[in-house]
Structure 1
Amino acid sequence: MVLGKGTWLLVGALVVAWMVLSGPSAPSGALDARSVPAKPVRDVVPNRVMTWNLCNPCKTGNDDRAAEIATFAPQVIGLQEACVGDVEKIRDYLENLHGLVYHVEYGAVLQSWGRCGGAPWNPGGYGEAILSAAPMTDVVTEEYPDGGSEDRGYMEVTTTVGGRPVRVFNTHLAERRQEAVRADQVGVLAKEVARHDRAIVIGDFNAVPDAYELTKMWRLATDADPHCRPGAATTCEPTTDWQSKFDYVFLRGYVPARHRVHPNQVSDHHVLYADVNPA
């Protein structure tokens, strides 16, 4: 049977109407073809390490978080207050919108429906995450014996920074006004860090450089800011909206080439990154 011109026009109109009403065939929130970058893969800065507390709960889009990370394109990113579902979306946005491809490992220390959503019987994982352009091996996730007012822990992986294999740690210590708890947590963490001649320790320590609970970390490593150390805290750039330095990139077996603290509208913690070289 041959269809007339009027019939074909009607069929075409119905197809267009169906496409408009049904939307894209990809799952809700997925990126359409126009979102794919012109260049499929973009290079990261091979010796750049970044730490960032995402702020949770905060009304922030994961596309905005990904854009902040993509601005600096680090080789390794340590995230705190991270929901597994959010990190999955961030990684997708980094690849599909910005051409940056990362491996990801999670260090969830609790299941939190209030912070991360999910089904009441299957709430989202909450804690730390590490994204690395190079593969990661020997992943370890540990919860501190005493988290303080909320479960806290650290994770560690082996990856590559500056062309060398390195053990990378990511942690989030107990909240403010819990100094004794943080001191015990640093003791646990420092014991593990001391086992490695080459290590990078990143995270939100919830303590200023002069705080006594950081003493064991300062004995093992130096800050990515060579002017920031105990006794010289006034030279340390603040990393939070309340003008305190709580975020660190501690280096062991590496030396800093440069660092930057970047305030942003996405979180109450600033982005902190460091370019490093093997010592």
Structure 2
Amino acid sequence: MLVGSLLAACMMLVGPSAPDGTSAKTVEAVRDIVPNRAMTWNICNPCDTGNAGRAAEIAAYAPQVVGLQEACVRDVEQIRQYLENLYGLVYRVEYGSVLRSWGRCGGAPWRPGGFGQAILSAAPMTDRVLVEYPDGGSEDRGYMAVTTEVGGRPVRVYNTHLAERRQEDVRARQIGVLSAEVGRNDRAIVLGDFNAVPYAPELTRMWTVAADADPQCRPAASGVCETTTDWQSKFDYVFLRGIAPLGHRVPPTPYSDHDPLYTDLKTT
């Protein structure tokens, strides 16, 4: 009985261990999800990091909606389990897998894991669409969209990952497809890794239909834009259409080569 009591006390002090062997630090009390907060994060794949750490990063900011890029279905499912079991944060999920990749996501060779985007939302999601870009560049790419609730109001949320660097012409065509769809909405949030700095010419059409969540970040080299990657470039965006930002952060993380970017929104 004494040994059992000591073990229980130790668990309360250090927190549970995640099933993948990663030490997972729990929050002292269950946090409430922030209802008007949106977050985008390229979680990096392949990267040598555990899903418990990724979940801890999301739980630290508890956004209402999260867009993940370079996401394997198996990883996202595990992240959701950690968020609920370790932090009491319950999210629904919709996937935007654009390819099946055994090398990236594992699984049986004849049934590789899905790879692409995912959206986590605390509120129900409807009207999911997945669109693959006609030209993905060096790897299949696309965007997904759902309708969900942010800040107590319905909004169309997009999540995308554009073609890799040095493929400017491909990204320009992809943005043409995405911006045309975003422009049909009165209110929209666009999350994603655009693989382009704000003043890149291929982003021009995106800037015509939405604004960056950072009011100081604009499509000019003189704009003051926080970097979001380990190589000190801004590639990650929360674009807003018909919604005003209240504030944003780009907290550093050891769990990816991209930092998470989140913004609080004025939706009323």
Aligned pair 1:70/2:54, yes or no? no
Q: Secondary structure at the match of 2:85?
A: helix
1:29 matched to 2:19: yes
Question: Is 1:217 the counterpart of 2:172 in the alignment?
Answer: no
Asked whether the equivalents of residues 98 and 141 of structure 2 are also in contact (C-alpha less than 8 Å), the reply is yes
Distance 2:116 2:42 in 1: 10
1:262 aligned counterpart, secondary structure: coil
Report deviation, 1:263: 1.3
- Corresponding residue number in structure 1 for 2:169: 180
How far does the alpha carbon of each residue in 1:27-57 deviate from its partner, in whole angstroms, 9 at most, with x for none? x9399xxx99886x64100000000000000
After superposition, residues 53-64 of structure 1 pair within 5 angstroms as: 53-64=42-53
The structural deviation recorded for 1:230 is 1.0
Equivalent residue letter for 1:29: P
| Contact residue 188 and residue 241 of structure 2 kept, 8 A | yes
Q: Is the 8 A contact 1:37 1:96 kept in 2?
A: no
1:269 matched residue in structure 2: 258
SS across alignment from 1:235: coil
Q: Report what 1:193 is aligned to.
A: 182
Query: How much has 1:163 moved relative to structure 2?
Result: 1.2
After the TM superposition, which residues 1-279 of structure 1 pair with which residues of structure 2 at under 5 Å, given as runs? 29=19, 42-278=31-267
Q: Where do 5+ consecutive residues of structure 2 fail to align?
A: 1-17
User: What is the number of equivalent residue pairs in this alignment?
Assistant: 249
TM norm structure 2: 0.89
Q: Residue 250 of structure 2 aligns to a residue in which SS?
A: strand
Give the partner amino acid of 2:155.
V
Letter in 2 for 1:80: Q
> Could you tell me whether the CA contact under 8 Å between 2:84 and 2:90 is conserved in 1?
yes
**2:56–2:83: 8 Å Cα contact kept in structure 1?**
yes
Aligned partner of 1:254: which letter?
Answer: I
Please, what is the CA RMSD of the aligned residues? 1.9
Note closer, same or farther for the CA distance 1:231–1:142 as it changes in structure 2 (3 Å cut). same
The superposition leaves residues 6-33 of structure 1 with CA deviations (integer Å, 9 ceiling, x where unpaired) of: xxxxxxxxxxxxxxxxxxxxxx9399xx
Whether the aligned pair in 1 keeps the contact of 2:20 and 2:50 (CA below 8 Å) is: no
Distance 1:85 1:72, change over 3 A: same
TM-score, reference length from structure 1: 0.86
CA distance in 2, matches of 1:129, 1:55: 13
Q: Determine if contact 1:37/1:99 at 8 Å carries over to the other structure.
A: no
